[in-house]
Structure 1
Amino acid sequence: MNVTSERAPLTRVPLSDAPRPPLDTTQLAWPGEFVESGGVRLHIRRTPGPTDETAVFVHGLGGSSKNWTDLAAQLSLHAQGIAVDLPGAGQTEPPAGYKFDLVEHAETLAKFLRGLDLGPVHLFGNSMILAAKHPDLVKTLTLVSPAVPDLRPFPNRMSDPRIPFAMMPIVGPRFRRQLAMLTPMQRAQQLVKLCFANPALVPPHRLEETAADFVERAKLSWAAQALMATTLGLFRAWLVPPKQSLWRIVPQITAPTLVIWGTEDKLVTVRKAPRTARLLPKGRLLVLPKTGHVAQMERPETVARAVLGLFEAEKDGTW
């Protein structure tokens, strides 16, 4: 395992100088479309790029395909991009009976990718189970603050501390009414404050885009229930017996893997980073100072340099 910070010697985690498009701070999300593949229907966003390499981007809890706009653009000279909305997130309506747990998400995405027949892809995001259970689908893996078990108190790790109470019986309705009184922009500001180390650096158009997402999701009859079910599914994955723990899954991942973590991550503590990378047979760790939970959004250029270093090292067998 190799561990470094952004300021450490770059020989530990190779940062590529390969060409990348200049970062467009006004870039809006790539256009979306619904695609059916392998018996699965997902809403996705495509980033044009060389078709001999494909990067697949998978959001985390409460996220969507829009979380990868800037990083996908930075990698577009080297790989075409596919950012997915998992069932119950973004614009993808969950099928009847969907379980919303990590295993079902992984199997759903595996079916979708097999149907596309793209060969092994560069996989990004919260996708450890897919990489472990379907190694033939994964060429490289980039984990950005992955949702490994972290059982610290939850209220301080949510965009609004009232959210856990809104899920409870009896008192839940009162807290849900309070939350419903927040404007979409207030909710967007809360989310950015939680996920970014320095919310002041978020461009205005990103805040507006996030606020518009809250408006759109409020129109989807299944969205709130799906988010709650996905949240509970993640908590259950953290509370299973040790033999079923995600920590037992990580060592099964055979693909060259880059783990990226921000020192100011409020959702999943950076203290979990060394253990995560150490358990990976081909893992390296990049810790970014003054960075929160979504390094790919807060530091897309730095993340892209590290990812292209991974691509190059995988290709020449030096990872």
Structure 2
Amino acid sequence: MKRALLAPESDVNVPETLPPPWPGRPVTIDGTRTFVRYTPARAQAAEPALYVHGLGGSANNWIDLAYLMADRWDGHAIDLPGFGQSDPGHRYTIAALANRVIRYLEHSDRGPVHLVGNSLGGSVSVRVAGLRPDLVRTLTLVSPAMPFLDPRRSAQGRFAPFVLLPFANRLAAWRMGAMPIDDMFTMVIAACFAEPEALPEQRRIDARKEIELRYSVPHYPAAYVGCLRGLVTSFLRAYLPGANSLWRIAAKVTAPTLVIGGAHDQLVDTRVPAQVAKAIPDSRLLMLDNAGHVAQIERPQIVARAILGMLGENSEERAISTKSN
């Protein structure tokens, strides 16, 4: 593990106004629709990238970062099964979600890609990178939801025992139905951001629309509970013998990796990013004092600078290797 390098601010193409949500379309894979949003590259030499959102999120969680990276990357962002506009999944384990990402990469024939994951999408991306290194050029993890066993370290921790109940999805649906959208919006924003009041008005509008969508999708509670149950199960399994431990899989990752954490993260233990960076062989770590759980939304410019720093570092290493050969 080493310290992340930041590219100069001048390397980041900051828009004068916030970009709107990127257009997208459903892609049918194995008989199931996966919704994908596309951020067109601004350069011919751009390389493919894939963005994977977290629990309760969608492809729209990557609007700003995808724009900032479009000089280097041709970005796709997927809605995981049951979220956004994707069809529900048959299973919501980390393995099942990772398989959906792998099948999309195989179907689109875009690999290897620069893979970027946040929260749940981070643990999914670790599994993809560890088991299918042929599909991943670099790996960026923003507040990855890797295993930790102290429920006090997460705002969702007190709900963890309930997700193991067989009727947990019905409890979640009842809870959503009883909570007004405005209250849900306030709760989500407070949990995800270090400085909710600093969120631009347009992004507040976008976030509220995402929450309204959740209320209109009948399968959303089951998807949410299923994924949370999958996370809890993966956390428990990670400390047991066997090849399915996420920590053992992380140790197999060969792609250059950037791990980013927020000092005010209320959903993932703030000690986890450093543990992830130690587990992955070729890794660099960036902890942000003024960020919460979704630094790609809250601090997209510095996240982009850290990614560009990793890309520049790898370009220099390849140049040195070429000269020595």
Normalised by the size of structure 1, how large is the TM-score? 0.87
SS at match of 1:221: coil
Counterpart for residue 13 of structure 2: 21
Q: Which amino acid aligns with 1:200?
A: E
Alignment of 1:1-319 (within 5 A): 1-3=1-3, 13-17=5-9, 19-23=11-15, 26-36=18-28, 41-49=33-41, 50=43, 52-95=46-89, 98-125=90-117, 126=122, 127-153=125-151, 157-158=155-156, 177=174, 179-240=176-237, 241-243=240-242, 244-317=244-317
State the number of aligned residues.
Answer: 308
Contact 1:37 / 1:116 at 8 angstroms: preserved in 2? Answer: no
Taking the aligned partners of 2:11 and 2:30, their CA distance within structure 1 comes to 34
Once the two structures are superposed, what CA deviation does each residue of 1:236-276 show, in whole Å capped at 9, x if it has no partner?
A: 00011243421111110000000001111111122122221
Following TM superposition, by how much is the alpha carbon of 1:157 offset from its aligned partner in structure 2, in angstroms? Answer: 1.1
Following TM superposition, by how much is the alpha carbon of 1:165 offset from its aligned partner in structure 2, in angstroms? Answer: 5.8
Question: Between the two proteins, what is the percent identity of the paired residues?
Answer: 36
User: Residues 277, 155 of structure 1: CA spacing in aligned structure 2 closer, same or farther, 3 A cutoff?
Assistant: closer
Following TM superposition, by how much is the alpha carbon of 1:175 offset from its aligned partner in structure 2, in angstroms? Answer: 7.9
Higher alpha-carbon deviation: 135-144 or 107-116: 107-116
Higher alpha-carbon deviation: 27-36 or 305-314: 27-36
Q: Which amino acid aligns with 1:73?
A: Y
Query: Structure 1 residue runs of 4+, over 6 Å off?
Result: 161-164, 169-175
Higher alpha-carbon deviation: 123-132 or 304-313: 304-313
Q: Which amino acid aligns with 2:96?
A: E
Following TM superposition, by how much is the alpha carbon of 1:155 offset from its aligned partner in structure 2, in angstroms? Answer: 9.4
Taking the aligned partners of 1:228 and 1:314, their CA distance within structure 2 comes to 39
Once the two structures are superposed, what CA deviation does each residue of 1:118-163 show, in whole Å capped at 9, x if it has no partner?
A: 231110001100001110111000011111112222695139x779
Structure 1 segments unaligned to the other structure (5+ residues): 4-11
Q: Which amino acid aligns with 2:288?
A: L
Once the two structures are superposed, what CA deviation does each residue of 1:170-214 show, in whole Å capped at 9, x if it has no partner?
A: 999788645423222221121110011111111222222222222
Taking the aligned partners of 2:170 and 2:107, their CA distance within structure 1 comes to 42
User: Residues 40, 290 of structure 1: CA spacing in aligned structure 2 closer, same or farther, 3 A cutoff?
Assistant: same
Higher alpha-carbon deviation: 23-32 or 49-58: 23-32
Contact 1:18 / 1:308 at 8 angstroms: preserved in 2? Answer: no
Q: Which amino acid aligns with 1:219?
A: S
User: Residues 154, 91 of structure 1: CA spacing in aligned structure 2 closer, same or farther, 3 A cutoff?
Assistant: farther
User: Residues 246, 167 of structure 1: CA spacing in aligned structure 2 closer, same or farther, 3 A cutoff?
Assistant: closer
Following TM superposition, by how much is the alpha carbon of 1:221 offset from its aligned partner in structure 2, in angstroms? Answer: 2.1
Root mean square deviation, CA, Å: 2.7
Structure 2 segments unaligned to the other structure (5+ residues): 321-325
Following TM superposition, by how much is the alpha carbon of 1:31 offset from its aligned partner in structure 2, in angstroms? Answer: 1.7
Counterpart for residue 323 of structure 2: none
Higher alpha-carbon deviation: 134-143 or 198-207: 198-207
SS at match of 2:189: helix
SS at match of 1:205: helix
Taking the aligned partners of 1:261 and 1:206, their CA distance within structure 2 comes to 21
User: Residues 165, 205 of structure 1: CA spacing in aligned structure 2 closer, same or farther, 3 A cutoff?
Assistant: farther
Higher alpha-carbon deviation: 74-83 or 181-190: 181-190
Taking the aligned partners of 2:98 and 2:5, their CA distance within structure 1 comes to 28
SS at match of 1:285: strand
User: Residues 15, 172 of structure 1: CA spacing in aligned structure 2 closer, same or farther, 3 A cutoff?
Assistant: closer
Contact 1:44 / 1:84 at 8 angstroms: preserved in 2? Answer: yes
Taking the aligned partners of 1:309 and 1:287, their CA distance within structure 2 comes to 15
SS at match of 2:290: coil
SS at match of 2:147: coil
User: Residues 38, 118 of structure 1: CA spacing in aligned structure 2 closer, same or farther, 3 A cutoff?
Assistant: farther
Taking the aligned partners of 2:246 and 2:143, their CA distance within structure 1 comes to 14
